[in-house]
Amino acid sequence: MTSLADEKYVAFTTFRKDGTPRSTPIWLVDAGDGRVGFITSSTTWKVKRLANNPRVELQPSDSRGRVKPGTHPTSGTAEVVSGSAFDEMKAKVSDKYGFQLKLINFIHALPGRRTGHANDCAVVVTLDED
């Protein structure tokens, strides 16, 4: 059986205040102790939605967030972290995604990019037990 953290891409679903699900593809790593995590920008909508509702769902997907057939969502509770927890997560993502992460960071650092994207926080998800 493949672990969720072994997947290259995972659809990360957060929920709006009205309960509407919103998904986005992420790179996910194992954070140990039944937890997984990823790094992102603190200005993203997924992080903003977590302030209102920490409930999330994760499901294996492709790079566009289309879920893989035959897979099922895994629910959990997410927490935005910084400091040493962020540094630890950033190192794990760098170990797993290496050159891809460097390339993405380079593209977002190019002059004229107005995305405000900077991997300045991490999200750690405690997975619900089945």
The per-residue pLDDT of the chain, averaged, comes to 87
What is the rounded average pLDDT of the residues 89-100? Answer: 82
Residue 110 reports pLDDT greater than 80: no
Under a CB-based contact definition with an 8 Å cutoff, are residues 128 and 75 in contact? yes
Element of type H or E holding 30: strand 29-32
Count of domains for the chain = 1
CATH code for the domain of 80:
2.30.110.10
Predicted model pTM: 0.85
Residue 10 belongs to domain spanning: 4-127
Q: Is 39 exposed, middle or buried (0-12, 13-18, 19+ CB in 10 A)?
A: buried
Residue 112 reports pLDDT greater than 80: no
What is the rounded average pLDDT of the residues 31-39? Answer: 93
